[in-house]
Amino acid sequence: MVQPPSSYRGRLAPSPTGYLHLGHARTFWLAAERARAAGGTVILRNDDLDAARFRLDFVDAMYEDLRWLGLTWSEGPDVGGPHAPYKQRERLPIYRAALAQLHAAGLIFPCTHTRKDVLEAIGAPHEGAAHDDEPVYPASFRPPAGAPLPPLGDKVSVNWRFRVPDGEELVFDDKRFGPQRAVAGRDFGDFLVWRKDDAPSYQLSCAVDDAAMRITEVVRGADLIRSTFRQLLLLRALGLPAPDYYHCPLMLDDAGVRLAKRHDALSLRTLRAQGVTPAEIIAKFSSEP
């Protein structure tokens, strides 16, 4: 009997800011595996908004490395699809419309404080200290609730933040880690939605795209669990449906350190040049917790 097409839509969302390392590749492989097991569709989205670290050769390398590993996608920048464009840089009007919606609803505010101001205000160690996440924005920096907002202007030249509902407990059921909870204003604070260099933040672009591309399950690294709460708030504020979330345990190197792109020794390219095969890499992925 012919199976009806599955409604599962998953995505691979690499950022072309370095060569893919083993940790990222494992997340993408898991995302592809979950889509395959569900008989669903895989979308490739090029998360190319980081202007400072973007490089065109990383874009080509990222497609090539993923294909070398054996991953495929049926929608993406290189193959097209019903939700094109699949490059975030080409989707700016979509993000800008979402920003205007948040502005009209009074859910964001302009912020001229620097990261240093924020760290000082909360008594946190200065730049240079390892921050895994954005520091909690001090409530004393907020304009009063309901204060009239300045217009966004044609070109945004100030940071805009989302005002989180202080004290609200947010919950989601992670498909890997089970129930997750965070309290807005305590575990994370008012977060960036648009930057003063006139570019959307990761939180905004990701939430908007996951909804626009009809993603049913987001598979990504466990380092983004806190971001999921922010994105759930944005989706709710924008009246958009939330996908399911499956966060992958992070891969550690032999010394127990999290793999990061700067571990060049563990980039797929380096491993490939050393003669490691895709089958060997996938065997390693399958044996990870």
By CB under 6 A, name the binding residues for ligand GLU. Answer: 13-15, 47, 206, 220, 224
Nearest alpha-carbon partner for 246 in 208, 279, 210: 210
Closest approach, Cβ 52 to ligand GLU, in A, equals 14
Q: Could you tell me if 286 and 249 are in contact, meaning their C-beta atoms sit under 8 angstroms apart?
A: no
SS3 59: helix
Toward ligand GLU, which CB reaches closer, 28 or 285?
28
Toward ligand GLU, which CB reaches closer, 25 or 111?
25
End-to-end CA distance of the chain: 35
Q: Could you tell me if 198 and 157 are in contact, meaning their C-beta atoms sit under 8 angstroms apart?
A: yes
Closest approach, Cβ 241 to ligand GLU, in A, equals 16
Tokens 């946190």: give the residue. Answer: 124
Toward ligand GLU, which CB reaches closer, 43 or 111?
43
Closest approach, Cβ 154 to ligand GLU, in A, equals 28
Environment class of residue 47 by beta-carbon count within 10 Å: exposed (0-12), middle (13-18) or buried (19+)? buried
Toward ligand GLU, which CB reaches closer, 58 or 194?
58
Q: Could you tell me if 258 and 224 are in contact, meaning their C-beta atoms sit under 8 angstroms apart?
A: no
Toward ligand GLU, which CB reaches closer, 13 or 111?
13
Closest approach, Cβ 44 to ligand GLU, in A, equals 11
What is the number of other CB atoms lying within 10 angstroms of the CB of residue 66? 23
Closest approach, Cβ 272 to ligand GLU, in A, equals 20
